[in-house]
């Protein structure tokens, strides 16, 4: 498996476009369309927040009714959430107009939006934007589309892979957005994946669900969960491979999707609002995976831990405190803590260490936190970032 260029349009049969239509101020791109030349098998994973935006409700309902789609229309700069009946009508209108200009069925268009909550979409501008984007659909439109879905992001997030699976060269492309309000349980994060693989409906959904669990569900920037989270995958079958089904034959494709999603997830954390450090938190030696997960998430979401690591402080007591309230099974006198490979706590107490070496290690752009509970054989890893004054400036 290797990385290739092309982003969301790397697979055969996909085109994309991103344009500015006036949802955002200025000339920033704010509307994207991704389309396939033929109908695709489709899968989706959506936010577990009980307050869901209209596009989430509509796209989720469509994928429950039929596991197929041919296009996705995405707006940024407005979440279209908490907008009542009009919000639902506007989301449906986006799908209908996109279908009309692409000459496909309205039910084959999925809708996504991201941005501030509680405002109506400027539909006249959105209508014009969809028409404009549809007229600009092209193979080289991937980067424009990746730009158009951003909000507080500072960089685009794209990846493309190729691998020989089931007798054919299969390509996969993906793009995502997200920098704040990130603690997915599939934050405002969106991700879209395309592939030219021929794959069964159940197999694609299984792969996507598993990949999300190992990537987007393992990241946190600020502990907030969005109303608009969505990850959608489209597979058009143009690679001409033998049909991929559930079972042993699914593993190579599963690995491919996991790699794509993990790459995007890491890019989201690295671009976290105000972030200066990428932090990997691993809790091992837990009595169960659930205990490891609770402990790792408590550490990764702790404002005190995140601000300490922002300042390069080796304050491992904050890590110990977050373990204590995490809900995981913890025995204080068994806990070992490592920062950047240096043991700072042994058996729940301070370890002898070289302070200068640790201080130097904590100045890097990537920091690794490892906690060994010494209670069992389960572990979990969560990716997070530091918490800076800039985060407050962005969100105040």
> Active-site residue numbers?
188
Q: Are strands 366-372 and 278-286 parallel, antiparallel or unpaired?
A: parallel
Q: Which two tokens stand for residue 62?
A: 């469509």
∠ CA 33-144-129, rounded to 5°: 45
**Residue 236's CB: how many other CB atoms inside 10 A?**
23
259 backbone dihedrals φ, ψ, rounded to 5° = -65, -45
Q: Which two tokens stand for residue 380?
A: 């979990």
Q: What is the DSSP letter of 74?
A: E
Q: Which two tokens stand for residue 54?
A: 């209209």
Cα–chain center distance at 315: 30
H-helix segments, the chain: 54-65, 84-102, 123-135, 142-148, 201-213, 251-270, 289-301, 303-310, 316-325, 355-361, 389-395
Contact 35, 71 (CB under 8 A): yes
Q: Which two tokens stand for residue 176?
A: 């995502």
Q: At what angle do helices 123-135 and 84-102 cross, to 10 degrees?
A: 20
How many Å apart are CA 276 and CA 314, to the nearest integer? Answer: 16
Q: What is the DSSP letter of 26?
A: T
Place of tokens 């752009």: 365
Cα–chain center distance at 339: 26
How many Å apart are CA 118 and CA 149, to the nearest integer? Answer: 19
Q: Are strands 168-177 and 14-19 parallel, antiparallel or unpaired?
A: unpaired
148: left (phi over 0), alpha (psi -120 to 50) or beta: alpha
Query: Residue 258: CB partners within 8 Å, gap ≥ 6?
Result: 210, 211, 214, 215
Nearest to 145 by CA among 16, 293, 335: 16
How many Å apart are CA 333 and CA 349, to the nearest integer? Answer: 7
């Amino acid at each position: 498996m290797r990385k290739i260029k092309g982003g969301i349009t790397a697979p055969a049969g996909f085109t994309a476009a991103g344009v500015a239509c006036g949802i955002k101020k200025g000339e920033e791109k704010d509307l994207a369309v991704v389309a396939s030349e033929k109908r695709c098998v489709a899968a989706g994973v959506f936010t577990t927040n009980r307050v869901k935006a209209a596009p989430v409700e509509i796209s989720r309902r469509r994928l429950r009714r039929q596991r197929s789609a041919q296009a996705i229309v995405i707006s940024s700069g407005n979440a279209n959430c908490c907008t009542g009946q009009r919000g639902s009508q506007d989301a449906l209108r986006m799908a209908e107009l996109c279908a009309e200009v692409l000459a496909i069925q309205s039910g084959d268009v999925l809708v996504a939006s991201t941005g501030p909550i509680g405002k109506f979409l400027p539909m006249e501008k959105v209508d014009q934007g969809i028409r404009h984007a549809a007229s600009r659909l092209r193979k080289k439109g991937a980067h424009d589309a990746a730009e158009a879905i951003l909000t507080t992001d500072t960089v685009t997030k794209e990846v493309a892979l190729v691998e020989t699976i089931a007798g054919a060269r299969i390509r996969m492309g993906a793009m995502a957005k997200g920098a704040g309000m990130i603690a997915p349980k599939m934050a405002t994060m969106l991700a879209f994946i395309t592939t030219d693989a021929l794959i069964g409906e159940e197999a694609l959904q299984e792969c996507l669900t598993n990949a999300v669990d190992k990537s987007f569900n393992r990241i946190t920037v600020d502990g907030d969960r969005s109303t608009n989270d969505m990850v959608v995958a489209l597979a058009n079958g143009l690679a001409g491979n033998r049909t991929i089904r559930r079972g042993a034959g699914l593993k190579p494709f599963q690995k491919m999707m996991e790699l794509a999603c993990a790459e995007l997830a890491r890019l989201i954390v690295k671009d976290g609002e105000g972030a200066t450090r990428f932090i990997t938190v691993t809790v091992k030696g837990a009595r169960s995976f659930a205990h490891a997960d609770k402990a790792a998430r408590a550490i990764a979401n702790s404002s005190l831990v995140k601000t300490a690591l922002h300042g390069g402080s080796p304050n491992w007591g904050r890590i110990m405190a977050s373990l204590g309230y995490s809900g995981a099974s913890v025995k204080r006198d068994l806990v070992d803590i490592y920062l950047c490979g240096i043991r700072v706590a042994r058996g729940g107490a301070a370890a002898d260490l070289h302070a200068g070496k640790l201080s130097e290690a904590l100045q890097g752009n990537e920091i690794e936190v490892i906690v060994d509970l010494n209670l069992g054989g389960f572990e979990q890893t969560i990716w997070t970032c530091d918490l800076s004054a800039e985060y407050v400036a962005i969100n105040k």
